[in-house]
Amino acid sequence: HNDDAVILSVDGLEKRFGGLVAVKDLSFDVHRGTIHALIGPNGAGKSTTFDMISGLQSPTSGTVQFNGTVVTHTPARNMIARGMARTFQHVRIRPQMTLLDNVMQGAHWRLTSGFWAGILRLDRAEEAAYRKTALLALKAVGLADQALVEAGTLSLGQQRQLEIARALAADPEILLLDEPAAGLRTGEKAELAALLSRLREAGMTILLVEHDMDFVMGLVDRIVVLDFGQHLAEGLPDEIRQNSKVQEAYLGG
Ligand code: ADP
Ligand code: MG
């Protein structure tokens, strides 16, 4: 392996909630320009892992390295400034705001978080630049023609695309998506998969959590399987599909 290609590295990550071990001794690497999936049954520790990587929760032990720097315990706002943007399992948009204003929040985050917060004061030129970035992000996900519509009127599939646009507007190097396909109809899932493929072609790195194995199989480059907080298996989609431990965890549960 060429280590330069590793953008994110998780080593011995652990999270305890009192007596419950939600994530245990988890290690894996994500390579630049790939789509990497973290899959596993409900309660396996996927969202908790995302929270630790993106700075929303501190691990009990273990380290996270991003772009060659140890970022364990770095607050979420600083992770955005460093180039990591994420979405959440439950959609977090402002339904009364327009799509454009929702996405402008993302453009804002990157430049007004961490170090930049104390220095930048927005003037009109900067506001216009944010607007332009937000429009480009909406265009990337196919929602530009609805920029001035209220976000609450969108379908769930479109709301998830909107969240991805908001994350993209922060100009990330890596996107973390927590169950982006959950609750989507078949056609919407296909659209989402096409969008993620386009982003990868454009050089984006994506780490996604998914409960639905079928969604990830045709899309991702590499899969890590979590079960009861532990690393159960890792490999190419075909290897994971044929892995008997994985089949047991999903079907025998
Ligand atoms: P997944 O995303 O794979 O469904 P989670 O990471 O949400 O799993 O949860 C993993 C385990 O940790 C579950 O047993 C869950 O109940 C527990 N858990 C998650 N967050 C907390 C918390 N804040 N306090 C206590 N237990 C939690
Ligand atoms: Mg989850």
Query: CA 43, 46, 51, 53: dihedral to nearest 10 degrees?
Result: 150
Whole-model pTM: value is: 0.91
Question: Which residue's C-alpha comes closest to atom 16 of ligand 1?
Answer: 43
Strand partners, 63: 11
Instruction: Note the pLDDT tens digit of each residue in 97-117.
Output: 999 999 988 776 665 554 554
Are residues 74 and 90 in contact, defined by beta-carbon separation less than 8 angstroms? no
Whole-number average pLDDT of the chain = 90
Does the domain formed by 3-83+173-252 have CATH 3.30.70.860?
no
Task: Assess whether pLDDT exceeds 60 at residue 9.
Answer: yes
Task: Assess whether pLDDT exceeds 70 at residue 150.
Answer: yes
Instruction: Note the pLDDT tens digit of each residue in 199-225.
Output: 999 999 999 998 778 889 899 999 999
What separation in Å is there between the alpha carbon of 48 and the centre of ligand 2?
A: 7
Round to whole Å and give the CA distance between 89 and 206: 15
Nearest ligand to the C-alpha of residue 41? 1
Question: Which residue's C-alpha comes closest to atom 22 of ligand 1?
Answer: 17
Q: Which atom of ligand 1 is nearest to the CA of 57?
A: 23
Domain ranges within the chain, ordered by starting residue: 3-83+173-252, 98-169
In 3D, which of 115, 93, 118 has the Cα closest to residue 106?
93
**CA distances for 179 relative to 39, 40, 86, 91, 208, angstroms:** 9, 11, 11, 10, 7
Instruction: Note the pLDDT tens digit of each residue in 85-95.
Output: 999 988 889 99
Is the minimum distance from the CB of 104 to ligand 1 under 6 angstroms? Answer: no
- Higher-confidence position of 65 and 183: 65
